[in-house]
Amino acid sequence: MEDMKVRVVESSFVAPSERTPRKGLWLVRACSLDLLIAKRGHTPTFYLFHNNDAASDFFDVARLKAAMAKALVAFYPLAGRLGVDSSGRVEIDCNGKGALFVVARADDITIDEIKDVKPSPELRRQLVPRIEPSSVVMGVQVTFFKCGGVALGTALHHASIDLIRVPTIDATSAFHFFQTWSALSRDGDHAAVELPCHDRTLLRARSPPIIHPDALSMFHPKLTFSNPSGPITTQVFSISKDQVTSLKRGCGGASTFCALSALVWRCACAARRLPPDVEARLTFSANIRRRVTPPLPERYFGNAYLRVGVAATVQDVIAPQALASVAGRIGGAIRRMDDEMVRSAIDYFEAEEMSGHWAATGTRPMTELHVTSWLGMPVYDADFGWGPPLVMSRAESNLGGFVHLVSDGPAYGGGGVRVITCMEAANVKELEHLLYQDLARCI
């Protein structure tokens, strides 16, 4: 990556092609889930596309901009700016100013040379647009390589300014936008578009609040970070389709998410050499769209995820025959998320005015691990008319104690999972050894 030279050739803003609602979108008394995330900034991701047919119009910029302008009519908050209203509340000002659109060139490298590059600050700097001003909600960068291929870097704002809480969207909503934008580019006016639902009052707190006591032990709005005692590093572990199948069988038929989360948690606890009697905690984000009554619209546009946690002593997590039971603990936490638990969590967050505690860099305590899953999401549905992406991934992961699960794309054969792990560098080799050792035992 250090040898790759990317030069920006164009930078502009794409506004909605039709007039959109002009309003402030703030949720301080509407949906507490949108208010939990702070100081996260823009989430960086990227897609890689091969120009297999040597198309002369491959990723035509005018076509992409026209399709984005149409998509932003329905997804108008993404064309807005973060701001503060007259009462001092942070909001998305839905002003239609547009999303940032950057065009760049990398004439000395091919996408095959970077498709296996792990997330890093340099990868983000080269392929993801630098958002200026920082109030811009969304930016994309189309980078053309000498091989004719393209990288599409994306940055969507998920958070707030100076620890003040703001509306946000989750990964499900973000991928819905990219599905829509790509469909409009591919199919034009014939595209089958599912409109987003912007009614965030569907997750409004109750008045008065009703908080089930069990909710307090299940949901974990706060994440604590500290300066790492040593360097942290990002490593990507590839797990094949056959390994995933064997692992799930070894976990008693658990879901892919539960089986992989159990495996990584177990191996991380062992690699970190935690004392056996210490309590370890695994947290993960769970989609609640189908957990409330009535269910949210599938195309609800906002944040419909709650941070759920499970805890156990280290010896219970790393015991030789414990993998299936650990996966069962994770699955049990998910099953307990019914309407009452979810509503209780929302009420609690609203009553306590939770803001979350995030940092730009740092690490979580070694007794804790957080898993974010993009499994089952339409990460490879971004076909702009020239075929699906070869690779989709985060561009940077710099917070220690975080794991991302991403389905394999065509570049890796499909059906497997990439485990993007950011943790202390001193333990990552041992984690790799233990992870593949446990996978081998499942076969």
432 φ, ψ (degrees, to nearest 5): -60, -45
- The residues, ordered by sequence, that sit 6+ positions from 300 with a Cβ below 8 Å of its Cβ are 173, 196, 197, 199, 202, 289
Contact 196, 121 (CB under 8 A): no
Edge-first strand order for the sheet with 305-313 is: 232-239, 417-424, 402-407, 368-373, 279-287, 305-313
Residues designated catalytic:
158, 383
Q: Are strands 368-373 and 402-407 parallel, antiparallel or unpaired?
A: parallel
Distance CA 138, CA 136 (A): 6
Q: Are strands 399-400 and 362-363 parallel, antiparallel or unpaired?
A: parallel
H-run or E-run covering 256: helix 256-271
* 253 residue type, one letter: G
Q: What are the DSSP E strand ranges found in 338-390?
A: 362-363, 368-373
